[in-house]
Structure 1
Amino acid sequence: MEECLAGVQNQPISDIIKVPRTDPIYNCHGYLTKVPVGAIIPFINHYSKPTEKVADIFAGSGMTGIAAVMSGRDVELSDISVLGQHIAQGYLAKVTPQELTKAAKSVVSKTRKKFGHYYQTIREEDGTDIELVRTIWSFVYACPKCGYELIFYDHVMLPEAERKDVCPECDTKFSRRTWNGGSDIPVKVVVKGVQGKQIEQDIQEIDFQNINDAKAEDILSKVPSLSIDPEREMYSRSGLKNRGLTETKKFFSARNAIILTELWDNISKIEEERIRKKLQFAFTAILPRASRRYQWSKQRPLNAQNQTYYISPVYFEWNVFELFLRKVNAAKKSDDVIYNSSDVFGDIEHGNARYSLASADLLEHLDSDSIDYIFTDPPFGSNIFYSDMSLFHEAWIGQTTDNANEAVIHTCGKKKVNAAVRYGELLKGAFKEAYRVLKPGKYMSVVFGNSKGNVWSLVLTALREAGFDSVPDHIAILDKGQRSVKGLSSGSESVVTVDLIMTVHKPTDKAAGESNVKWRQAEPEELIEAAIFDAENGDAKNPSYVYAHILREAIKRHLLVDNLHLSDVLIALRKAGYSVDPKTGKLSSPN
């Protein structure tokens, strides 16, 4: 660590970085697997000086760029993701709150004047004409034996004691898999009541009329859309063919599609680029919620799943104007954190940050030995397919990510063949480019998380073969918190809820970086046993913590973990008497 900055050695990096995903920047725009800015800043401050140049070669939505700008560093961002570039440029577009408010109100006013009547309804409480907040829609399932149509919303709203999972006409067992799905129908409307609180009311004739009239609008032919083709991983994973959801526009109701199209058109006519970028940023941020992917539950909205194209059997159709204006306010809060954290802020094109569309294994826009520090977050193997999910937003942006060199492991279709080998080669190429552009003696931090040990071995091998020192300079556990029900089980579905941040060193002399250290395969049982023993100290909050501790210990001891899987850890914990609280995801010690 001798080559770390003067003045920053007194700011050691913790072995556990815990930064919740609740800050205004993180929540302003959705993007898969973001690292919170607060987790990146300590590394930038530790491994680089103010005014030095930072880079992120898997930049995604630009969190490293924001952290660098806030820390007074120049930053070079690059990724193949068109959506990622769009989001980062939106974050970094400097607009005053007054300018943003004025522009947002203007485009909403123009759009509402033309198509706002589609949200008009009548409040049952007092007969007042009012704009609805949202509509609840339900799937309708047809009994395969007698044709009886079951409205799923009515079914789940029955008291549990009265709910029977059979057809009320012929007693055929109800199954969402085997009963044919009919047309979705609206079942409830939510409005602001007389007392100001939101209330539900039954669908009225005016609601049906507005829904039907919207379906006849000519503007529907102009709704931006992209095909989700069969060769896409998410085509198979999300079962899109069965429900005819092979185009992105089919995920929107007719009236929301109309209003979104008109709103996007009005935003795109704004001449001032920075204001236009910021409003387009706010617009794309609401797309999942403005679509049929916004899940309903009895207790509260469940939001939209970002990793799949899933539509829940009961879902929301939300008022686009309300969503957009709320997101504009969120953008102002995000800007406030960025602008007030530093006196150093430059324009995206000419100042501190630049975002280039480039594959991580071909960084032609960067000179050799030109970067002082790299912080990057590569895709996690087969977990998420960024380019497939980005189609939903990129249809509106008007440019599509070239996914030929996407660093993912395919599990479906033709690309499944040799997918792991291809993934390893892409990572190796990316790390070699990182080695090339990084100055000698400098550092790169890599965020990574995966439930499969063989994927971890691919990463470690790629780093070594790229030329970095074989022993990481620092390994930290990154805990971003966990909000999803799936993640709370912390591994019951092969989900890892904490990641590792490995910082590796580029030697000043390439020969000096060559190591005679021999890596050997670990004995998973031995590592797991030791980790469970350590769990008695209360350090392991959930199974993912135990798994991360095992990985960190293995890397420090030059052990490969090809034969380790998160499920092995879960089984061992259960055998040792541990259980996982289904509400908190935390480990409970054996009695």
Structure 2
Amino acid sequence: MFSIDFDNIDLNPEKLLLKTAIESPNFPFEYLSIIAEIESWRKEVYRPIYYVHKWWARRLGTVFRAIIIATFSSQNCSIVDDLYKPLKLKRGKIFDPFMGSGVTVGEAVKLGATAIGRDINPVAYFLVKNALSQKDKGRIQSTFEEIKQDIYSVMQKYYTTVLSNGETVTVLYYFWVKYLPCPECDQQVDLFSSYIFSKHAYPNKFPEAKAVCPNCGDINSIHYKDTSVTCQQCSTVFNPQVACVKGKMASCKCCGHCFQINKTIQNIGKPPSHRMYAKLVLLKNGVKQYLTVKEYDIDLYKVTVKELSQRDNFYPVVSIQPGNNTNQILNYSYQYWHEMFNERQLLCLGILAERIKKIEDINIRDLFICLFSGVLEFNNIFCSFKGEGTGAVRPIFSNHILKPERTPIEANIWGTPKSSGSFSTLFASRIIKAIDYCEKPFELKAVQVNKKWQSEKVYALSNPIGYKIANSFQELNDLRPVYLSVGDSGETDIPTESIDAVITDPPFFDNVHYSELADFFYVWQCYLITNHVSDKDTTRHAHEVQSSDSLIFAHRLQRVFVECHRVLKTDGLMIFTYHHSRTDGWSAILSALVKAGFAIVATHPIKSEMSVATSKSQAKEPIDIDVIVVCKKRERVKLDNNLTNILEDAYVNAINQVERFRSVQRRLSKNDILVILMAQVLKGLSAYHQIDTALDWLEEHKKEVIDMVEGIYFKYNNAEQ
């Protein structure tokens, strides 16, 4: 292995200590978690390079920078100090077999290492390639201006309306509601769960909200807690908090019949219809105003429907395949990916796509295809309104699933400076910010002010980011330090024992099925990329490490770990981050690791993704930490034939790590403690000589593990109270 070299001179390998900083129990995870916490709140601002396109479970750049530094440092180094030194990792080769959004690859090349990234999903590969490739900011900005000159006025005419005084203004957002015919009386039932469609993100401070009258459709300004409102237009008295939908059921206000929404949709055999009921316009003076939908708006939409019908092959027509994450929309009778957009969205996306295809420079064209693909995330009928005081559009994957939206929002696709999720605003917030970061990379440093942690940016630690990407391992050199590929990571072209460290973040077996969600973007990327060679309409792959069956997941993960074992040097480390709330999630990891020839030599808990992510905020005991799992080849580890002290040792080590978190006032949920304890248990079991016996032991002792978690949680919760 290689060490960090502060003077760009290779150190004599004979002088290196055998144990690295990442193997040491003193790895400073508690302080690193403070920095990671700060980064997690605005990841797209502090690490914009990984946010040029949507990906799931993006890990924190600070964490992986620290992991890489500690992997190539001796255990007596100060990792916290080294985070803020302009380090150069001489000739160290790092491989990430689950590249995802490219965090490992990006942080590795910032440290001067050679980085090899591979992912089985072509959407992930396309994202990372565009993030790390060389970019000419001037040419990219001029290309944007040329696109704007050609199609801005064409697209904006579909997002205009006329005020009562005859003035033409721009529409920022249209508000829609799904409706179904009542199975009993055939009357239209709007699928509102509340008649309040807009309120502030901080309603206690800004209590004004907007409600639509269920009788005449007029828009009323109300207090967000009001339970009785008299419509200013028709004098109807209604409770804005209660509408026709409650959970999975809807009731008809005409006949009172109550029916199941999903079952009714399936009986009809097509997705629910939609109607516009409100719009948010931008007045000439810059003020935003909510208005009801008028005849002009309906007629304009009919124009878009007619124009779309006159254009051939204007969008991809690809069927949605059944799957863990796609069955929900199939149950809503969505059969094709393009049905997730309305006609105006399809027309404007098609206009934008046609213009992007005309960009001659293939690298710039790919970057704008990446941007276009990101626009899809915020411009479909699965988006909803977040409200005032925040980004208005809640994108399709805010919940990491494909959830049909009963009251979708339609945004202005080109957008204005006051728009959310539009082509123009995402160009500025994603592409330009990523380019600026690549030109002047920085790290976050935590500083304490009045007993509160704040951040400051530290520059001049890394060279500018932007490379010619190698197309094979053999092409890697000082000018091409990054090799990216798409395909099965169980089979690579990497030479045997040529990698110093494998550093990655594998998928979770029963969580988000990335390929099923990524197909939403992939069908459009295939449509746009003129030299696209794949004949597949999906990113799904027989060898993807994703399955709701823990045995299948373990087997597929084992294939990749076996390849990692082959390419890793004899004394190299394989390091990955992981968490899970169930025992079978841990037994799958243990099985894959040991059968691939690895044993765990250290585990460190660390701050995970943003604490208020939707998927976490809805969990009873959310997991707020990952565990860093450090592995060596089993032939380089002293194995044990005694399981007697596994639980006792794991408990002592877990208590120590919990105490260290408490010393920096980090509260832990039960599942956080479970992650810490299970990682320690797996460390002991992975060094046992017989894997089947270790797996049986884990199954037999899972109740004892849960009891230990309860005890630790109870002990420290009572201490804090």
The two structures have a TM-score, normalised by structure 2, of 0.70
The answer to whether 1:241 aligns with 2:330 is: yes
Q: Is the 8 A contact 1:93 1:275 kept in 2?
A: no
Amino acid paired to 1:436? R
The answer to whether 1:353 aligns with 2:477 is: no
Equivalent residue for 1:14, pick from 28, 31, 35: 28
Counting aligned pairs with the same residue, the percent is 17
Amino acid paired to 1:202? T
Separation (CA, whole Å) in 1 of partners of 2:712 and 2:631: 35
**What is the DSSP-based 3-state SS (H/G/I as helix, E as strand, rest coil) of the residue aligned with 2:320?**
coil
Task: Name which of structure 1's ranges 25-34 and 513-522 shifts more when overlaid on structure 2.
Answer: 513-522
Separation (CA, whole Å) in 2 of partners of 1:109 and 1:429: 51
Q: CA deviation at 1:430?
A: 0.8
Separation (CA, whole Å) in 2 of partners of 1:590 and 1:45: 34
**What is the DSSP-based 3-state SS (H/G/I as helix, E as strand, rest coil) of the residue aligned with 2:627?**
strand
- Number of aligned residue pairs: give it: 562
Task: Name which of structure 1's ranges 312-321 and 333-342 shifts more when overlaid on structure 2.
Answer: 333-342
Counterpart of 1:584 in structure 2 is none
Amino acid paired to 2:303? D
The answer to whether 1:389 aligns with 2:517 is: yes
Counterpart of 1:267 in structure 2 is 356
Separation (CA, whole Å) in 2 of partners of 1:504 and 1:117: 59
Counterpart of 1:100 in structure 2 is 140
Separation (CA, whole Å) in 2 of partners of 1:13 and 1:225: 51
For the structure 1 residues 269 and 229, does the alpha-carbon distance in structure 2 shift closer, same or farther, using more than 3 Å as the test?
same
The answer to whether 1:88 aligns with 2:226 is: no
Deviations 1:9-62 (A, max 9, x none): 789742244323323324442101111222211122222433322111011122
Counterpart of 1:582 in structure 2 is none
Counterpart of 1:541 in structure 2 is 668
Separation (CA, whole Å) in 2 of partners of 1:175 and 1:297: 26
Task: Name which of structure 1's ranges 159-168 and 448-457 shifts more when overlaid on structure 2.
Answer: 159-168
Q: Which has the larger radius of gyration?
A: 2
Q: CA deviation at 1:547?
A: 2.1
Amino acid paired to 2:140? L
**What is the DSSP-based 3-state SS (H/G/I as helix, E as strand, rest coil) of the residue aligned with 1:271?**
coil
Q: Is the 8 A contact 2:105 2:117 kept in 1?
A: yes
**What is the DSSP-based 3-state SS (H/G/I as helix, E as strand, rest coil) of the residue aligned with 2:681?**
helix
Separation (CA, whole Å) in 1 of partners of 2:709 and 2:638: 38
Q: CA deviation at 1:305?
A: 2.2
Counterpart of 1:121 in structure 2 is 161
Matches within 5 A, 1:181-260: 182-216=272-306, 217=308, 218-219=310-311, 221-230=313-322, 232-236=323-327, 238=328, 240-260=329-349
Matches within 5 A, 1:370-385: 370-385=498-513
Amino acid paired to 1:343? N
Counterpart of 1:133 in structure 2 is 172
Q: Is the 8 A contact 1:361 1:430 kept in 2?
A: yes
Q: Is the 8 A contact 1:120 1:130 kept in 2?
A: yes
Equivalent residue for 1:321, pick from 414, 437, 459: 414
Amino acid paired to 2:318? L
Amino acid paired to 2:580? N
Counterpart of 2:69 in structure 1 is 45
Q: CA deviation at 1:356?
A: 0.8
Q: Where do 5+ consecutive residues of structure 1 fail to align?
A: 411-418, 579-586
Matches within 5 A, 1:361-372: 361-363=490-492, 365-372=493-500
Separation (CA, whole Å) in 2 of partners of 1:520 and 1:149: 67
Q: CA deviation at 1:423?
A: 1.4
Q: CA deviation at 1:155?
A: 4.3
Separation (CA, whole Å) in 1 of partners of 2:146 and 2:645: 63
**What is the DSSP-based 3-state SS (H/G/I as helix, E as strand, rest coil) of the residue aligned with 1:118?**
helix
Q: Is the 8 A contact 1:60 1:79 kept in 2?
A: yes
For the structure 1 residues 500 and 521, does the alpha-carbon distance in structure 2 shift closer, same or farther, using more than 3 Å as the test?
same
The two structures have a TM-score, normalised by structure 1, of 0.85
CA RMSD between the two structures:
3.5
Amino acid paired to 1:355? L
Deviations 1:182-213 (A, max 9, x none): 41111111121344132221112221112122
Counterpart of 1:515 in structure 2 is 639
Separation (CA, whole Å) in 1 of partners of 2:143 and 2:520: 25
Q: Is the 8 A contact 2:670 2:710 kept in 1?
A: no
For the structure 1 residues 204 and 343, does the alpha-carbon distance in structure 2 shift closer, same or farther, using more than 3 Å as the test?
same
The answer to whether 1:403 aligns with 2:541 is: yes
Counterpart of 2:113 in structure 1 is 73
Separation (CA, whole Å) in 2 of partners of 1:576 and 1:219: 65
Q: Is the 8 A contact 1:491 1:566 kept in 2?
A: no
Q: Is the 8 A contact 1:360 1:430 kept in 2?
A: yes
Amino acid paired to 1:206? Y
**What is the DSSP-based 3-state SS (H/G/I as helix, E as strand, rest coil) of the residue aligned with 1:320?**
coil
Separation (CA, whole Å) in 2 of partners of 1:566 and 1:296: 46
Counterpart of 1:57 in structure 2 is 97
Separation (CA, whole Å) in 1 of partners of 2:243 and 2:524: 44
For the structure 1 residues 115 and 480, does the alpha-carbon distance in structure 2 shift closer, same or farther, using more than 3 Å as the test?
closer
Counterpart of 1:34 in structure 2 is 58
For the structure 1 residues 564 and 195, does the alpha-carbon distance in structure 2 shift closer, same or farther, using more than 3 Å as the test?
farther
Task: Name which of structure 1's ranges 115-124 and 39-48 shifts more when overlaid on structure 2.
Answer: 115-124
Q: Is the 8 A contact 2:27 2:604 kept in 1?
A: no
Separation (CA, whole Å) in 2 of partners of 1:205 and 1:489: 40
For the structure 1 residues 152 and 121, does the alpha-carbon distance in structure 2 shift closer, same or farther, using more than 3 Å as the test?
same
The answer to whether 1:339 aligns with 2:439 is: yes
Deviations 1:150-186 (A, max 9, x none): 3234843264452365543333347645665841111
